[in-house]
């Protein structure tokens, strides 16, 4: 792995840590609104929380009626339906 890749990975991790710190301190919106009740993951907004809950905790797959393909989220199924015949 080259130096720039390592530097990018370290900076990315620092950004996530900073985001979590800001959320936990209540400086960037209410952390109660965006904390997953099942696993405790804190997300930046309610839409991301909804997506997280669908993908991480939804045991039921969304199924395309036309072709039978299964998807983790309703959003992925919606995108698939645009091109499914």
Length in residues, the chain: 85
Tokens 């992925």: give the residue.
76
pLDDT in tens, the chain (85 residues): 677 777 776 777 666 666 666 655 555 555 456 888 888 888 888 888 888 887 788 777 888 999 999 887 888 889 999 998 7
pTM for this one? Answer: 0.42
Domain-wise residue ranges, the chain: 3-59
């Amino acid at each position: 792995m080259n130096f720039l890749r390592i530097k990018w990975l370290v900076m990315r991790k620092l950004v996530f840590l900073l985001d979590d710190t800001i959320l936990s301190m209540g400086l960037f919106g209410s952390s109660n609104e965006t904390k997953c009740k099942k696993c405790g993951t804190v997300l930046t907004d309610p839409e991301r929380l909804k997506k997280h809950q669908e993908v991480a905790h939804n045991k039921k797959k969304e199924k395309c009626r036309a072709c039978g393909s299964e998807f983790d989220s309703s959003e992925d199924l919606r995108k698939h339906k645009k091109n499914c015949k």
